[in-house]
Structure 1
Amino acid sequence: MTTRDRLSTEAARQFAELGYHGTSIGSLAKALGIQKSSVYSHIDNKEDLLVELAGTGAAHFHEALDSVPEDVDPLDRLRLALHAHLQVVHTQLDVATIWLKEWRFLTGQPRKDFLRSRHRYEKRIRRLFEEAIGSRQLPEDLDLDHAVLLFFSVGNWAYTWMSKKTDVDAEADAFWVLMQDGLARS
């Protein structure tokens, strides 16, 4: 692994554990066993790392959603989307944490680009709910805003309790049973 790759990995770890503002160029350099000035041979500033890692998180979430098969019924696609979302949190915990929490510290155009990507992802999940309603697998009068919020509440808070030992499929299935039962009753 190159020093630049190690820098990204360490930055992801520290941003996730200490927060963006709790991480310094000095702490990154120390963890890598290099001089602080050497870090700057790879980046212009700390925000470069945040932009990179937030983008990496976005790419992982979009790719996971892309992997959900189109040839299954809409409700099953929604269930698989929850599995995919939780799988990203589990396998990419550090960058997922940045995508879910530390992105707030992005500024300028990178922030606008990030929010555009994030909103696109949220709209894709919303469309899955709309398709399930359209196919009458979910009630026609479902409160769509709250249903989408429920999906993301389950999926996005997983970074706070998930560990490497978590059985993602079992957790996703358990949450799905609760969600589906609640959604069907609305």
Structure 2
Amino acid sequence: MSTTDRTGTGTGTSTSTVAKRDTYTPETLLAVAVRIFNERGYDGTSMEHLSKAAGISKSSIYHHVSGKEELLRRAVSRALDGLFGILEEPRAQRGRAVERVEYVTRRTVEVLMAELPYVTLLLRVRGNTHTERWALERRREFDQRVADLLKAAAADGDLRADVDIRLATRLLFGMINSLVEWYRPHPDGAAEQDQLVDTLVRMAFDGLRTD
């Protein structure tokens, strides 16, 4: 039997492999990659690991992406796009600085919960590759913009004068980012999520506001 007869492709690739490869989209493949990156660490993940997790050949993965660093960039870009998108929302751009920073904090927690695997990966990059260094720089940019809002709120007199703003900024980000280590979404947890967001914002800003 000829190769074409056996595979239907003329390339030596089985019909079942081609069919399975074609069921994967860049998005579904990305979801698998992010899960493995978070489980094994990016440096500890090989294309072989991704191939086994996806149940497709490495060549099938290369059909969609150039390699694992492209998958990493797509993943952290998704998280960063969600975070920076918050800063473009009307309530993040208008009003007193303290109201804007509270809104940004609330929305940051909401994005973290909605995009938990992607934000988790973003917070764990180490800077060992070009993509990781780019992601770290973008993270610092986002953090700085939130810190600037806190400084503006302090300058407006809306935050307590006896609180060190640099320390408050670090504690705020530490509280938010720690969610990736313990928060796990519940199937029917919309109310639970709302409560978590409200509690975090209240704990942070009840201790910072002057009123």
TM-score in terms of structure 2 length: 0.76
Q: Is 1:83–1:169's contact at 8 Å kept on the other side of the alignment?
A: no
* The one of 26, 38, 47 aligned to 1:4: 26
Q: Is 1:7–1:32's contact at 8 Å kept on the other side of the alignment?
A: yes
The answer to whether 1:39 aligns with 2:61 is: yes
SS at match of 1:38: helix
Q: Is 2:127–2:133's contact at 8 Å kept on the other side of the alignment?
A: no
CA drift of 1:184 comes to: 4.5
Q: Give the fraction of aligned pairs with identical amino acids, expressed as a percent.
A: 28
The match for 2:197 is 172
Looking at structure 2, the residues matched to 155 and 145 of structure 1 have their Cα atoms a distance apart, in angstroms, of 16
* The one of 148, 169, 184 aligned to 1:148: 169
Looking at structure 1, the residues matched to 100 and 34 of structure 2 have their Cα atoms a distance apart, in angstroms, of 30
The answer to whether 1:92 aligns with 2:110 is: no
1:68/1:160 CA distance change after superposition, 3 Å: farther
Uncovered stretches (5+) of structure 2, i.e. residues with no partner: 1-22
CA drift of 1:34 comes to: 1.3
Deviations 1:10-64 (A, max 9, x none): 1112222332234332232223331122212333332221122122211111112
Q: Please, which moves more after superposition, 56-65 or 144-153?
A: 56-65
SS at match of 2:207: helix
* The one of 91, 104, 107 aligned to 1:81: 104
Larger Rg computed on CA atoms: 2
CA drift of 1:168 comes to: 2.8
* The one of 28, 37, 42 aligned to 1:15: 37
The answer to whether 1:128 aligns with 2:153 is: no
Deviations 1:112-167 (A, max 9, x none): 43233112101111111012112211024531211110111111111112122253
After superposition, the CA RMSD in angstroms is 2.2
Looking at structure 2, the residues matched to 159 and 114 of structure 1 have their Cα atoms a distance apart, in angstroms, of 17
Q: Is 1:15–1:23's contact at 8 Å kept on the other side of the alignment?
A: yes
* The one of 56, 70, 89 aligned to 2:78: 56
SS at match of 1:172: helix
The match for 1:137 is 158
Question: Structure 1 stretches (4+) deviating beyond 4 angstroms?
Answer: none
Aligned partner letter, 1:130: K
Q: Please, which moves more after superposition, 144-153 or 171-180?
A: 171-180
Looking at structure 1, the residues matched to 35 and 85 of structure 2 have their Cα atoms a distance apart, in angstroms, of 21
Q: Please, which moves more after superposition, 90-99 or 14-23?
A: 14-23
TM-score in terms of structure 1 length: 0.86
Q: Is 2:127–2:136's contact at 8 Å kept on the other side of the alignment?
A: no
CA drift of 1:172 comes to: 2.1
SS at match of 1:104: coil
